[in-house]
Amino acid sequence: MQRLTVTGRLLITVLILAAIYFGFKYVGGVDLLKSLQKNQTEQVEHRSESGETSASAEGSASEESSTSSNSDAAVSSKRSFDYEAPQPTGGTLKGVVELGASGFNSFIVRIDANKNWKLEKSEFGNSLVIENMAMDEDVRAGLKKYIGGMLDYGVSSKDIHFVVSSGAVKADVTQKIIRALKSLNYFVNTVTPEEEGRLALRSVLPADFYSSAFVVDIGSGNTKISWKTDNKTTALESYGSKYFQEGKNDEQVYSEVKAKAKQVPSAQRKTCFIIGGVPFELAKAVRKGKERYTVLDAPDAYKMENAKTKAGINIYKAIADATGCEQFVFDWDANFTIGFLLDLPK
Q: What is the pLDDT of residues 268-280, one digit of tens each?
A: 999 999 999 999 9
CA distance 139 to 99: 11
- Are 130 and 256 within one domain? no
Q: How far is CA 341 from each of CA 15, 16, 92, 249, rounded to the nearest angstrom? A: 123, 121, 11, 36
With bands split at pLDDT 50, 70 and 90, how would you rate the model's confidence at 31? low
- Are 165 and 214 within one domain? no
% of the chain residues with pLDDT over 70:
72
Structural domain including 204 reads: 193-343
How many domains, in total, are found in the chain?
A: 2
- Are 183 and 197 within one domain? no
pTM passes above 0.75: no
Check: CB of residue 139 under 8 Å from CB of residue 90. Answer: no
Asked if the structure places residue 326 within a domain, the reply is yes
Note the pLDDT of residue 231.
86
- Are 169 and 202 within one domain? no
Query: Is the pLDDT higher at 332 or at 99?
Result: 332
Query: Is the pLDDT higher at 143 or at 163?
Result: 163
Check: CB of residue 221 under 8 Å from CB of residue 278. Answer: no
State the chain's mean pLDDT as an integer.
81
Kindly report, residue by residue over 311-337, the tens digit of the pLDDT. 999 999 999 999 999 899 999 999 999
- Are 202 and 337 within one domain? yes
No. of H helices and E strands in the chain? Answer: 9, 11
Average pLDDT over residues 233-262: 96
Average pLDDT over residues 273-301: 95
Query: Is the pLDDT higher at 62 or at 112?
Result: 112
